[in-house]
Amino acid sequence: MKILVTGSKGFIGKNLIAELRNRKYTDIYEFDQDTEPAHLDEYCKEADFVFHLAGVNRPKEQSEFMDGNFGFTTILVDTLRKYKNTCPVMISSSIQAELDNPYGESKKAGEDLLFDYGVETGAKILVYRFPNVFGKWGRPNYNSAVATFCYNISHELPIHMNTPDVVMNLVYIDDVINELIHALEGNENRDNLFCKVPMIHTITLGEIADLIFSFKKSREEKSVPNMSDAFTKKLYSTYLSYLPENQFSYDLKMNVDDRGSFTEFIKTPDRGQVSVNISKPGIIKGNHWHHSKNEKFLVVSGQGIIRFRKIDSDEVLEYFVNGEKMTVVDIPTGYTHNIENLGETEMVTIMWANEAFNPEKPDTYFLEV
């Protein structure tokens, strides 16, 4: 299948082309504002499907709205008509097509032109009125508040909000691309004349800013956002894509003593805490028990033994562990336990606890195994 993508270097275009290639579509005609105009003839002659994503939304003069949106759509339609190519055409419109402003009027004119073309030729027309689209590769300080906030906050630049209570309707770029692939395959989500993208998220501008600030702070707190919330999960992925390239990494505090070290990695309010424990050869750590706190130990390097004893019993249970065989050991409540490095090198253990450590309520009681 030969696919023409106009606006190929734009936000949606870049994401769409990347996914088309992931899905092994190889005949992709990329057309953007710096493409030699003569190529459009060849592309319109050969295309089996057109994704018309090109448009203008931030011109120097308002007259450019109509030239860039309606005008180029006219050229595209005329060129398809010239070669009697009635392949399906998808157009990226906007919810502002319902509004009385120059941008909305130009988008509405492009829609009407394509609808008329569809009636005339029988070509399948797919019109999507997108709300605000967010995700990786969006252009900050251009036309997306989400992209601007993610970029500025991650780069420690100020953000400006005149109306933090304004309600935003947003759709995530991956959801847009999945729908466009469905349209390509003939399974578009249609609602009468218009097609639509599922999973529109409604949230205020101030709430978006608060979330992004919390993402930045999460490194200091060793926390991760609530990934069970669909919008938070998508916004966090978006935020990470705007990190300065020299700040992908960050240091953790290692609590070091003569036995080895203990480093907290991730803390969550509802999924517990993950830490990395390093023990030197011959070292025993632990010898304590818990009422409600429970843990999972996974030795990933070295070899050792984990011992258990029920606090009202003399029987000692032993589990031998090593990094050659990944074995998770549950640490039940009511059992005092320890872990000993039996090897000649450091032993590294990943430890998960069902709750983040609270020094005021440690639920940890010393007792030799």
Catalytic residues: 103
**Nearest 5°: CA angle at 236, between 133 and 93?**
5
Residue listed under structure tokens 């398809």: 80
Interhelix angle 102-121/72-82, rounded to 10 degrees, is 10
Judge contact between 171 and 200, C-beta under 8 A.
yes
Give how far the C-alpha of residue 291 lies from the chain's centroid of Cα atoms, to the nearest Å.
Answer: 38
The 10 Å CB-count burial string (b at 16+, else e) for 146-181 is bbbbbbbbbeeeeeeeeeeeeebebbbbebbbbbbb
Q: Is the dihedral of CA 326, 292, 353, 256 positive or negative?
A: negative
Q: Which residues are CB-contacts of 249 (< 8 A; sequence separation ≥ 6)?
A: none
Contacts of 227 (CB under 8 A, 6+ apart): 233, 236
Rounded CA-CA distance 176/197 in Å is: 6
The helix/strand/coil state of 98 is: helix
Q: What's the one-letter identity of residue 81?
A: R
Neighbours of 133 (CB within 10 A): 23
Q: Please give the distance of CA 30 from its chain centroid, rounded to a whole number.
A: 25
Lay out the sheet containing 335-341: strands in order across: 316-322, 303-310, 335-341, 284-289, 365-366
Buried b (16+ CB within 10 A) or exposed e, 31-59: beeebeeeebeebbeebebbbbbbbbbeb
Q: Give the SS3 label for residue 223.
A: strand
